[in-house]
Structure 1
Amino acid sequence: MSRFASRRIGATAALVLALGALAGCASEPDRYYTLAEPATPQPLVAPPPAGLAIEMAPLAVPERLARPQMVVRGPAGAEVQVLEQSRWAASFEQELRDALAAGVSARLGATDATRGPGVAGVLPWRIAVQVQRFDATQGGQVEAALGWTVRRADSSQRSTCSWRGSEAAPGGIDGVAQAGQRIVSKVSDAIARHIAALQAGQPAACPAAPG
């Protein structure tokens, strides 16, 4: 074999190895995150003897968030980045709906009739949540604003409340997901207290806005 041919073979082998390395970098696996609380919360109140049920309607969210990819703001705040390899376990609105339904039902000791049967003879409390804001910045914070309406299935009377706040999101995308979980915890707590007051025939006190 000539020296020229050996050099060509060597160059080809080096190119193949380089392309293989690039392909390996490009095929990093997607990472999936959840908004569900890491631990089941304790009930705030004892459910009534006949039982209690809740039903969470599909959430209304800003269109840019209605996707499984995580959406964060760039360092300057104006740029929005859609992270293809960092995703929620379901589309954001479904992931948040499931997390809130689980959090509220656990705090009330209630049956979650969102996706399954409720309690025979027990009319559920129906909850409609609207997400006005869920802005995340890696290494910064997650700022959120949500409103909700609660009504009994046998009544047209509605009671509304809202929550607004932020949670620190240090580090990378893991910090964003953990901040989202803490927001879910606080909002679930507020909705559960709202329903508990209505169930007891008391005025519903909405959470105070942070000062």
Structure 2
Amino acid sequence: MMTRRSKMGRFARPRSTWARFAGPAGALAALLLAACASPDPRYYSLAAAGDASPPPAAAPGTTQPARAEPLWIEVAPVRVPERLNRAQLVVGDGADGQLKLLDLSRWSSPLPDELRDALSQQLQSRLGAVDTYQQGLSDVAPIYRITTEVVRLDGAVGERASATIAWTVRRLPDGKVTGGRTVADVPAPGQVDGLVGAYRQIVGTAAGDIATALTTLTTLRP
């Protein structure tokens, strides 16, 4: 008696052969895909969590007056050179003045916001002040407005960071203004973390200069 071979039976052996081939090939393909996957970028911030900088000493011959309420300030957005206004960190690349973007090292927010937030954090801590701009207090009139502009901000990974930051402090009730420039140069050892740490130091130096100028301005009569 002749038996009939089912269609499933006819193709069972080729399917088993394919399974033996697909196993090692599939594993190899997965390894190749994993090796070719791009690493995720790392994000950095200039604002330090829980920063508590000591208040500056009063200028010679002056004392910082006691206040019954917070010192209301407004830290305006920081102006930066357009070449630095990138999501990636912009660093020096050699001694010929060339720059390069670090695609895997990025700011957690636009650089002008990073600088403004870090500066505001430092000033509020040093002066016992409240930044009406940061807090969104539209119904509170600030007493002092701080404006800053980054004239120069240079950094090289594993080397140094330097900057020139111009700033002004305006007393809004009467329009008295004081201003200056902070010029800083600090070492940036290690990798990108060290460079970001050096930038934080520079912001702290600028905040100290501004806080001292503002404290002096509070003693001047209208």
TM-score class, shorter-chain normalisation, is 0.7 to 0.9
Listed as ranges, the matches of 1:50-89 within 5 Å are 50-89=69-108
Change (3 A) 1:123 1:114: closer
Establish whether residue 185 from structure 1 lines up as the match of residue 204 from structure 2: yes
Counterpart for residue 41 of structure 2: 30
Cα distance in 2 for partners of 1:46, 1:156 equals 20
Gaps of 5+ in 1: 203-211
1:32-51 equivalent positions in 2, closer than 5 A: 32-37=43-48, 39-44=51-56, 45=64, 47-51=66-70
Residues 51 and 14 (structure 1), Cα distance of their counterparts in 2 relative to 1, 3 Å cut: closer
Which shifted more, 49-58 or 138-147?
49-58
Superposed CA RMSD: 2.7
Q: Residue 112 of structure 1: CA displacement?
A: 1.0
Q: Does 1:175 align with 2:194?
A: yes
Cα distance in 2 for partners of 1:190, 1:157 equals 17
- Rounded to whole Å, the distance in 2 between the matches of 1:127 and 1:41 is 18
Change (3 A) 1:68 1:47: farther
Report the 3-state secondary structure (helix = DSSP H, G, I; strand = E; otherwise coil) of the residue aligned with 1:138. coil
Give a deviation string over 1:109-133, Cα, whole Å, max 9, x none.
Answer: 111112321785x642001101001
Alignment partners' CA distance in 2, 1:47 and 1:80: 48
Distance between the aligned counterparts of 2:147 and 2:112, measured in 1? 12
Structure 1 position 19 matched with structure 2 position 39:
no
Which one is further off, 142-151 or 50-59? 50-59
Query: Against the structure 1 CA distance between its residues 37 and 140, is the aligned structure 2 distance closer, same or farther, given a 3 Å change threshold?
Result: same
Please, what TM-score do these two structures have when normalized by structure 1? 0.82
Task: Choose the corresponding residue for 2:112, options 77, 85, 93.
Answer: 93
For 2:220 and 2:175, the matched residues in 1 are separated by 16
What's the counterpart of residue 107 of structure 1? 126
Q: Aligned partners of 1:110 and 1:147: how far apart in 2?
A: 21
* The one of 148, 151, 173 aligned to 1:154: 173
Question: Is 1:117–2:137 an aligned residue pair?
Answer: yes
Are the equivalent residues in 1 in contact too, given 2:132–2:142 (CA < 8 A)?
A: no
Q: Give 3-state SS (helix, strand or coil) of 2:181's partner.
A: strand
What is the CA distance between 1:135 and its match in structure 2?
0.5
Partner Cα separation in structure 2 for residue 144 and residue 167 of structure 1: 9
In structure 1, C-alpha distance between the alignment counterparts of 2:215 and 2:137, rounded to whole Å: 21
* Stretch moving more, 80-89 or 130-139: 80-89
Aligned length: 198
Structure 2: how far apart are the matches of 1:19 and 1:46?
67
Unmatched tracts of structure 2, length 5 or more: 1-12, 57-63
CA drift at 1:13:
4.5
Kindly, what percent of the aligned residue pairs are identical?
33
Q: Calculate the TM-score normalised by the size of structure 2.
A: 0.78
Give the structure 2 partner of residue 205 of structure 1.
none
Amino acid at match of 1:33: Y
Letter in 2 for 1:16: A
Q: Which has the larger radius of gyration?
A: 2
Per-residue CA distance 1:166-193 (angstroms, 9 max, x = gap): 1111111011111011111111111111
Q: Secondary structure at the match of 1:78?
A: coil
